[in-house]
Structure formats: structure tokens, C-alpha cells
């Protein structure tokens, strides 16, 4: 691995979550392609990208990027709830996504404390 952020466990888990989001949203209805699918994918990607981009900045900036990454976790959670209510995700899929997001959020909070 060439960049420090690639070794962060939270970065690796964010990548796995993004992979899961892409897999799950493939089965969403076509009319959601520019709605929930796009929103959930962009928010999931944002978790990962903010970790990567912030890692190359000052500690203060990194903290800010980690906060944005955590906010994207919350955004994903809201979209997952909506998608489940629309029956695009099963209860089991919802639980798995929310468990991943909770874990990511906690890891990001811990990393934020360590750089503050």
C-alpha cells in the first residue's frame, strides 16, 4: 500500500461498505437510479473519500474531514431507512447496513479523538 490512509481499518471497512452498497442498489427499481441509488452511493463513497483526502492534511483539517465522513454515515443510515420503508431492502439487509454504519461511525469518532 502506498498511502498511510490505506492502512487504516476504518478506511478498509468504508471500502467494504461501499462495495455492499453497490451490490444492494443493483436491485433497486430503475426509477430510483437518480434518486435513492445515486444518493446512497454518493454518501457511501463520501465516507471513504473524506478519510483519504483528510489524511493528507493537517490534524485540524483531518478532524474536519473525519467529521464529514461521519456525517455521511448518518446520511447513509437515513437513506437505508427510506429504502427499507420502500421495500427496496429487506429487514436483514437494513440491519447489516446499519450495523456497518454504526461501526464506521464509532471508529471515526475514535479516530477523531486521537487526532484532536
Q: Measured on CA atoms in the order 90, 75, 42, 53, is the torsion positive or negative? A: negative
Q: Are 98 and 106 in contact (CB under 8 A)?
A: no
Q: Cα(44)–Cα(48) distance, rounded to whole angstroms?
A: 7
In this prediction, residue 2 carries a pLDDT of 83
Give, in degrees to the nearest 5, the angle at Cα 106 between 100 and 110.
140
| Digit-coded pLDDT (tens) for 13-51 | 999 999 999 999 999 999 999 999 999 999 999 999 999
Distance of CA 25 to the CA centre of its chain: 14
Does 1 have pLDDT greater than 70? no
User: What is the value of pTM for the model shown?
Assistant: 0.95
Q: Are 99 and 50 in contact (CB under 8 A)?
A: no
Pick the closest to residue 37 from 101, 89, 98, 104 (CA basis): 89
Amino acid at each position: 500500500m502506498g498511502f498511510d490512509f490505506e492502512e487504516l481499518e476504518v478506511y478498509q471497512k468504508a471500502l467494504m461498505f461501499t462495495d455492499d452498497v453497490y451490490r444492494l442498489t443493483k436491485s433497486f427499481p430503475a426509477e430510483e437510479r437518480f434518486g435513492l441509488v445515486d444518493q446512497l452511493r454518493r454518501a457511501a463513497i463520501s465516507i471513504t473519500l473524506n478519510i483519504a483526502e483528510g489524511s493528507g492534511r493537517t490534524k485540524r483539517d483531518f478532524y474536519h474531514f473525519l467529521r464529514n465522513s461521519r456525517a455521511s454515515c448518518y446520511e447513509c443510515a437515513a437513506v437505508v431507512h427510506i429504502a427499507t420503508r420502500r421495500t427496496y431492502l429487506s429487514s436483514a439487509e437494513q440491519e447489516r447496513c446499519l450495523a456497518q454504519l454504526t461501526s464506521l461511525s464509532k471508529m471515526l469518532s475514535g479516530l477523531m479523538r486521537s487526532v484532536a
